[in-house]
Amino acid sequence: QLQLVESGGGSVQAGGSLRLSCPAFGYAYSWCMGWFRQAPGKEREAVASVDSDGTTRYADFVDGRFTISKDTAKHTLYLQMNTLKPEDTAMYYCAASKPKWQLPPSSLACTAFDYWGQGTQVTVSS
């Protein structure tokens, strides 16, 4: 069983930066890992993802401000967030998929996530 533990959230002023971390414990290989966020009263939305080939994907609202990366040796996923805005305020979650060989052949990368962390709060003040 894969366990994900996010950290790095906090309170910053608009324009500031934060770096989220998400080490994976247990069986650490996943086809895709990603960051999601959920603001109060809103649905959870994808922020960024990276698959085992290193392909990264970002939501449009990221607009070049965030960078997703992973340290394979440390089994850790990161999200560097710069130029933060008040609308980035949300709980941020790390997620991981099963390994590719455990999924149906028709599966697409980074479309389904099976493991989730507990979240880390990011609050951006104006």
Instruction: Say if residues 91 and 26 touch (Cβ distance below 8 Å).
Output: no
Residue 126 to residue 108: CA distance in whole angstroms: 39
Give mean pLDDT, residues 88-115. 92
Instruction: Say if residues 23 and 96 touch (Cβ distance below 8 Å).
Output: no
pLDDT tens digits, 87-97: 999 999 999 99
Question: Regarding predicted confidence, which is higher, 35 or 72?
Answer: 35
| pLDDT band of 28, cuts 50, 70, 90 | low
pLDDT tens digits, 33-51: 999 999 999 999 999 999 9
Q: What is the pLDDT of residue 30?
A: 86
